Structure 1
Amino acid sequence: MIEVCCAIIVNEEGRVLVTQRSARMSMPLKMEFPGGKIEPGESPEACLIREIKEELDLSIEIIAPRPASQHQYPAFSILLLPFICRIVGGTILLKEHAAYAWMEPSELLNCDWAEADIPIVHQYLNPSNHVSSLTNK
């Protein structure tokens, strides 16, 4: 099983950053929360900070972990470890993705998500699990 971290990056207005996988990546042009594979000996938090810097040239602060989700693709399975985050530095520079968008939470279900991200979207949208204001952090 591949352990992967993903960032649910929320801005001051409550919009969520979503990224579109490039045409050359597996699951081409699907939407996802950005992140990547945990390296041996690396903590999930360190992985996420590294991956977001590598993929988007952003510095992030991790606000809160979210429940993990396991997904079985035909050729492999992943354990997806999501974290609510906010940007603390940098400007988005796409290094691996085709596109990005800041979306209202109500728009998230309209995206063509990578399958493993779908439970994470539903979990984020569940009002009983929602992280309140990030503006006072």
Structure 2
Amino acid sequence: MKSQGTNPVNVCCAIIKNEDKNVLVAQRSSTMSLPLKWEFPGGKVEQRETAEQCLIRELKEELNIIVKIVRLIGSHIHKYPSLSINLIAFECIIVSGEIVLSEHIAFKWVDKEKLLELDLADADVPFVDKL
């Protein structure tokens, strides 16, 4: 993922809770950037796409699920060594589909109190406090 100039890349992520109030996280593959890090699933906003459209598309493509966006949690800019991202987080619920991984190597439902025990992507960490 390359940044264009100095502008941060807009990236969306979903905070999805199940009926037990556990949160969905997915583990990046060893060939992805940030290899083997855990993250809230999502992806890069494409041209002519809203953040909400991006999130719905990415979750269908990467996890085979359809979600309903409940609310915007917030956003923040995170600077990685190679680029800056504007990470936009939404609370979502799964409305259909069974999770099938197409890019990640694993997923799990985690108690929100244990999220920081995972090797989370740095940009995702600030959202743990907002849960």
* TM-based fold match above 0.5: yes
Q: Taking structure 2 as the reference length, what is the TM-score of the superposition? A: 0.92
Cα offsets for 1:20-79 (capped at 9, x unmatched): 000110110000000000011101001000000000000000001011011001110000
Q: Show the counterpart of 1:64.
A: 71
Match of 1:77 among 74, 84, 96: 84
The answer (yes or no) to whether the contact 1:69–1:120 under 8 Å persists in 2 is no
Match of 1:7, SS? Answer: strand
**Identity over aligned residues, as a percent?**
51
Match of 1:101 among 88, 108, 119: 108
Match of 1:25 among 20, 32, 42: 32
Whether 1:15 and 2:10 are equivalent positions in the alignment is no
Instruction: Decide which structure has greater helix share.
Output: 1
Q: Show the counterpart of 2:119.
A: 112
Deviation >4 Å, runs of 4+ = none
State the alpha-carbon separation in 1 of the partners of residues 127 and 28 from structure 2.
Answer: 17
Match of 1:116, SS? Answer: helix
Unaligned 5+ segments in structure 2 are: 1-7
Letter in 2 for 1:84: E
Match of 2:66, SS? Answer: strand
Q: Taking structure 1 as the reference length, what is the TM-score of the superposition? A: 0.88
CA shift at 1:122, angstroms? 2.1
How many equivalent residue pairs? Answer: 124
CA shift at 1:9, angstroms? 0.6
Match of 1:4 among 4, 7, 11: 11
Unaligned 5+ segments in structure 1 are: 125-137
State the alpha-carbon separation in 2 of the partners of residues 100 and 86 from structure 1.
Answer: 16
Q: Show the counterpart of 1:55.
A: 62
State the alpha-carbon separation in 2 of the partners of residues 30 and 108 from structure 1.
Answer: 12
RMSD across aligned positions (CA):
0.7
